[in-house]
Structure 1
Amino acid sequence: MAKNVFALILIMLISATLQPPAMAADLIEPTLTPAAEIIKPKPKPKPETMGGFSISSTVGSYFFAGSEQRNVAALYGVKVGHEKIGKSAADNLGLEATINFFNASSKTVARDASGYLFRLDASYPFPINKKWMPYLVAGVGGIFSDGNGSSNKNILLNYGLGLKYFLQNYLAIRADVRHVGVYENSIFRQNVDIGVGLSYYFGKERIKKIVTQPVLEKKKIVVIEDDPAKNVEAKKTTATEKEDKSAVKPSEDLKVPEIAPPVKIEVVKKLSVDFDGTSLYIKPVYIKRFNEIAASLYESGDFMVHIKAHSRDTEKIADTVILSEKRVQRVRDSFINLGVNPNQISINANAALPVNSENNANSYVKAPSQRVDIMLVKLDAAAKLKTEQELQFKIERDEIERLVLETRSKDLIKAVLELHGENRSLPVDSATSLPFELVNQGEDTEEFMLMLSAPKDFDGFMESVSRPDDKITLIQLAPREKLKGNVRFRIPAGLIDGQKTMLTLKAVSTRFNDVVFQKDSQIAASAPLLRIEAKLSNKKVSPGDKLQYQLTIINSGSLSAHALSVKLSLPSAVNLVGASGAPFAKETGGMLVFKVDTIEAGKQAEITIDANVRADSSIGQEILWNAEVIDGTLQRRAKSTERSSIVLVK
């Protein structure tokens, strides 16, 4: 039964290879073909490609391992697979499922066995050309066999190679060799599978046989396009020529001109919109009709709306042309506001006037500037493609023109910005300013936005010299006009001496935000920089000894320090005798506070404290002196740079 099934599949595949005879429906009879069909360009044939879904029928032999004591068995199979052939060899991949039937006889006893092999294989095809395609395979499966009243089910692994030769793009002869490892009773039996077959690929286009007969009648072919000036006339010689028509070859007799197929446009609706005088107002009666046309445009992209106004040649430099352009644009905007895709709208504000055919070519229909005509048209595929291409071309052209115009406009914007005060040293905690100048050197009046890039705590802004304390952000300058101003800001008190900050002043065109003129100025903060040093007369003293403690306050900054307070915590192991260098007051807890009015930049102040070591001090006691200076103006503090101590000895 299984053999019959496999044989039937093989017969069906072989029959698919036979080319069917040409039928009457397959013949092309030029005498019955319309002229428009004769000149229609033939579509380009699709490129032949390998791969795809396929079904195969195979026959072959199955060789058992010697330990199985079985003769070579005939093998019948069906394979279903899919191959993907990519742009490069690395992209190629295939997958194939196989079922095989075999009937094997024993070499030793009269005991036959039949069974099935099931496999799922992955393949790597690498086509050499359009005919030959070798491939490597590997996969897993199982073998089920019955014989002598028992059945076996075992797992198998296989690998091998194959080759396909394509008779047609949909039909190929194949040959396969597989090494099959059958896992049985904890061992692998080494079997071999050899087969040939036929593969049929689905979805491949067959090339029909075309029988061309001679032309028995020659006709005049006329192709009408939208533009009457482009009508094409293809003339053929008359059939009165004395010649044997049956012997005429079509390639010599039928010479059809190579022209593009005409674009078919079907006008669905027409509407004329009348305007009063020089008004741009669209009357409400037309809005309902606009909605009907817009509804058709929503439904399908095959529809377009053409909007056009007319003007005589003598009017093309008159105000009526400008008026027509405005009205056409107003109608277009109305459709866009209704949700119509702008790509489905075409406009022509200067269309030629319709000619009055009853008179001469110079007689035109009246009221050219009072009307806008609207046509809803349906396009065929060729017209739609042509329209889309034209729209895309127009968009690209308009964008290029816009960029060119924008570039030229940017080049005409010329200005000079100067910011003075580079590398200035400015005192902290004070308001200051830097002068600047902005000159419009272009030929047109320009407006600029003034911007300052500075730390937030600088509180910077710009002012005009003519209007101090009046912040300015926008300034309009006539050609060659100059603005003189100041950048006002405050140096924060927290900056240390010598700290640098970059200020950037920008003048940005309000027409093009990428046209920027800027100037940088780096400033340095000027501030006092205090430190305190302490020095003891003796490092080791005994109870009752005299002790002198000297403090030095140094200002190494670039700015004078004012209203200084020097605090000294008097140790409990000493008694104060006196102090010099600055007035002082003694506070509770043994704190001495000295007042220093000013220490100039690069200068210093000295304070001396005299004391006695108390007689009841403990031997070995450590005496600590802590001093601190405070800037009363900037509220900055500096402590002694080192810690002094005294150890009591006998």
Structure 2
Amino acid sequence: MLAYKRLVLAATVLACVAPLSVGAEERSGVTLTPSVVYYNFDHGVDADDAIGYGLGLGYRFDSPWGIELQYQSVDADLRSSTGELSLDQWRIDGLYHFEMQDKWQPYVALGVGQSDSDALSISTDEDFINAGLGLKYHINSSLAFRPDLRFIRGLDSDNTDVAFSVGLQFKFGGSNASRRPAKKKTRTPVELEVTRLDGDNDGVYDDQDSCPNTPAGRPVDASGCDNDKDRDGVVNAQDQCPNTSTGAKVDTVGCYETLNETVTIELNVTFDNNSDVVKAEFYPQIKKISDFMKTYPLTVVQIEGHTDERGKASYNRSLSQKRADAVAKVLVDHFSTSSERVKSVGVGEDRPLVPNDSEANRAKNRRVVGVVSAKGEKSGG
């Protein structure tokens, strides 16, 4: 009955271990396992439990499987009389390994063998089957600590012994055993709606915009960059003069328009009697010339100074020259007009605007005008 219970226990343990996931992380190679054995005899055997030794020689394949030839030797005291029972066992086992967890790797074993026992000068040979399980703690790739539990069933006596061993497994040669590839999970693709951004509102999305900070409303090309480099209203592809100054008038091909007539700009700039000082209140008047010349960059201006009739003609001419020079200086220094585009001349009293017959009229004649004319051919700067 006890033997039957032991077989049931062995079958139960194997059934619990079998569902473990299969893996093979231990490398293949030849194994040599010396061990210490604790042997528990069936109640039908007249012998006490005893400690012996064992030695296993095996081979681990590049798979979960291994094979091992095992020898065990035990000397036990007899229960009913004085004497010893000497037991020698040889067995060959198949080992099936499970997945390693934190260096621990369980296995199950099944095999056949033969035992030779000698007690009181009586020798007995018996074939047996054995089943069991064990663990390997892999200290490194060549050395493992190995506890092992076996149930040994005699085919003639129907006795079931239990052997528990603790050993060190040494491994030689071989290579890392292949791991069974994990089953890949199939993921269902998820469609995401992506909102494309246009930070500068130029009609070109940010991920394609090479110039992401163009001012709003500015025409751009396919890469999001300014489509009118000099901002003259003519796109780059048609602009024959791509570097015209801002605010200048251009023709249909992007080049400066030429002034076709001489333009006289009356400046409401007056001076105190015998003075050539330009008062700040008249700067906006001078700015009119600056603005006009920026619109037509291919122009020059002649600043003309005028006086009333009082005083000597030579003095008046000199004074009018000083007044013209003063206005020209404001135009160049304050409004950044190139000095090469500005000339000044003193007319004196020769060209009065109105008759010098009253103080009011004489004040009008003390004036400065700007005469703007073209200076050259069409150009784009």
TM category, shorter: 0.3 to 0.5
Larger Rg computed on CA atoms: 2
- So what's the TM-score if we normalise by structure 1? 0.23
Relative to its length, the structure with more strand (as a share) is: 1
